[in-house]
Amino acid sequence: MAADEPVFKYKWWAAGDVNAFFGLMLDNLTGLVILSSILTGIFKMPADVVLLKMVPGTALGVMLGDLAYTYMAFQLAKKERRQDVCAMPLGIDAIALFGLSLGVVGPAFAVTKDADKAWAVGMAVLVVMGAVKVVTAFFGEAVRRNVPRAALLGSLAALAVVFIAYLPFLKIISDPMAGLVSLGVILLTLTARVKLPLKIPGALAGVGLGTLVYYAADAFGLSEGRHVAEAGFAFAFPNPTLHFMDGLSMGLNYLPLSIPIAISSIIGGIDNTESAAVAGDKYDTRDILLVEGVATLVAGVCGGVIQNTPYIGHPAYKAMGGRAAYTLASGLFIGLGALVGLTGYLISVLPESVMVPILVFIGLEVCSQAYGESDKSHLAAVSICFVPTIANLVFIQYNSLMGAAGIGLGKLGPDFQETYRSVMLLGNGFVLTAMIWAAMIAFLTDDNFASAAWVAFIASVCAMTGFIHSPFPDGRLFAPWGVPATTYKIAVGYLLMGGIYLTMFFLRRPKTDL
């Protein structure tokens, strides 16, 4: 540093951090509400096990991750001497939230009728997922450098709209008076950026007003919302424990479901790092992924059952004016709040319908960024990402309906069975499928036929191992032998696609004089 250059001091908090704090904090709190609602409402698990054992460990991972990302924001600001650096947000992974609660912890309790055993199984699965994420973190930067932006942002946009925006809308419409009031305030203040009197944060106003409407309607018998069992204030320390070892043997049965979810989180982390870079904050991909991996691992050891991931809303929080204070405050609120029982209490009294609108806003912002920041010639690449993502959602809903009705696939007609299998093949591994298809289209529109061919060949290998188009309902990975004929046909199809693109590469290659 030159002798006359002033010492740089990062102004790590700003007025926008208030809105960003409520947005990120409520986002995470919403995840904990949904987790508790699924386990206590659908599977009838004891509320004390969920709120006093699972929630504190899960919240600890959120706190550690957000504290680490806060530190990284300070380092980036110092390195680039910029005051507008926005920390990367971290929180509960939405896919894991639904996948692990509905596919691991809940079913484990249904089988064993032992809440403590189901908790151990959830911990064991999360520990393995954290270890996988730590190892794969070292390959993230190479992926980010070589995959087109449309593929990275497009797969994120599809995930944001289909899961982060659509599923919350179901909660909103199920309790429309409170839910729509909260959504209306969120859209007014965060999407349209209209400032409220007295500078009241939009996220806080939305939740507060929606909650008032909910309890007013409830008093007149008009509310249709549901809560988990109420919890009082109680200390709940997320102490490190080897209790996860008790669930390891049973937890291995769920790895075919959980490992793809962990890998999708890594891919999402890569996407999020690119998303933050587009917004102006260029973080190191490996460091971002290592933080989420370690935070997930620690959460699992300390009782958590849902993995952490860098959130897809960095551009939204930056647009709010957030810097580093919002991640610091959010992490401390969620982590320490769980320790003293505040988080559990809020989970029991805040309606889902008034909390989930913040997720709708995040989903819309991420989708807008994907279309706005991708090259105009690559918009088709962004759009195709929605196809496998929607297929995955339809597959989940098919299974939910069949399970609720107690109907097996064999009892349904051949036409539906064929549709079911096609939706399953299309939806399994949807995040990676979306990236692959988008990358191929982006390379093709750029006349980069050789790269498009390589992507098709990679897709063939992924199909032969179950990373995409797994022919099994649980989306398991497998060795490339002894699998259904459909898998070989898909793999050969991708090989033929690659062959076409490679042929075009040689036909279009400039001829040189001999």
Find the range with the poorest average confidence among 39-48, 169-178, 499-508: 39-48
Q: Is residue 514 part of a domain?
A: no
What span, in angstroms and rounded, lies between the C-alpha atoms of 137 and 131?
Answer: 10
Q: How many domains does the chain have?
A: 2
Q: Tell me: the pLDDT tens digits for 75-105? A: 999 999 999 999 999 999 877 787 788 778 9
What span, in angstroms and rounded, lies between the C-alpha atoms of 75 and 73?
Answer: 5
* pLDDT given for residue 44 in this prediction: 86
- The DSSP-derived string for 185-220 is HHIIIIIS-PPPGGG--HHHHHHHHHHHHHHHHHHT
Find the range with the poorest average confidence among 59-63, 67-71, 218-222, 413-417: 218-222
What span, in angstroms and rounded, lies between the C-alpha atoms of 389 and 409?
Answer: 22
Same domain? 351 vs 401:
no
Same domain? 310 vs 385:
no
- Output the CA torsion 376→380→384→385 (10° steps): -10
The yes-or-no verdict on residue 376 having pLDDT over 80 is yes
* pLDDT given for residue 514 in this prediction: 45
Identify the bridge partners of residue 92 per DSSP, sorted by sequence position. Answer: 308
The three-point CA angle 137-143-146 to 5° equals 160
Same domain? 53 vs 90:
yes
Find the range with the poorest average confidence among 266-270, 281-285, 321-325: 266-270
Q: Estimate to the nearest angstrom the gap between the alpha carbon of 114 and the chain centroid.
A: 29
Same domain? 304 vs 163:
yes
Nearest by Cα to 65 from 299, 315, 322: 299
* pLDDT given for residue 222 in this prediction: 78
Q: Is residue 10 part of a domain?
A: no
Q: Is residue 190 part of a domain?
A: yes
The yes-or-no verdict on residue 233 having pLDDT over 60 is no
Give the containing element (helix H, strand E) for 194. Answer: none
Dig out the tokens for 243 from the structure. Answer: 């209790």
Burial class, 400, CB count within 10 angstroms (exposed 0-12 / middle 13-18 / buried 19+): exposed
Same domain? 295 vs 404:
no
Choose from 5-19, 49-63, 188-202, 341-355 the range with maximum mean pLDDT.
49-63
The yes-or-no verdict on residue 463 having pLDDT over 60 is yes
* pLDDT given for residue 185 in this prediction: 95
Last-in-domain residue among 308, 341, 374: 374
- For 471, the domain range is 378-508
Q: Is residue 276 part of a domain?
A: yes
Same domain? 79 vs 185:
yes
Q: What value does the mean pLDDT take over residues 320-338?
A: 93
Band the pLDDT of 230: cuts 50, 70, 90. low
The three-point CA angle 58-256-335 to 5° equals 5
First to last CA, the chain: 55
Last-in-domain residue among 333, 356, 374: 374
Give the containing element (helix H, strand E) for 91. Answer: strand 90-92
Same domain? 41 vs 55:
yes
| Residue 19: strand, helix, or coil | helix
Q: Tell me: the pLDDT tens digits for 381-404? A: 999 999 999 998 899 888 878 877
Choose from 18-22, 200-204, 324-328, 346-350 the range with maximum mean pLDDT.
324-328
Same domain? 293 vs 322:
yes
Q: Is residue 3 part of a domain?
A: no
- Average pLDDT value over all residues in the chain: 87
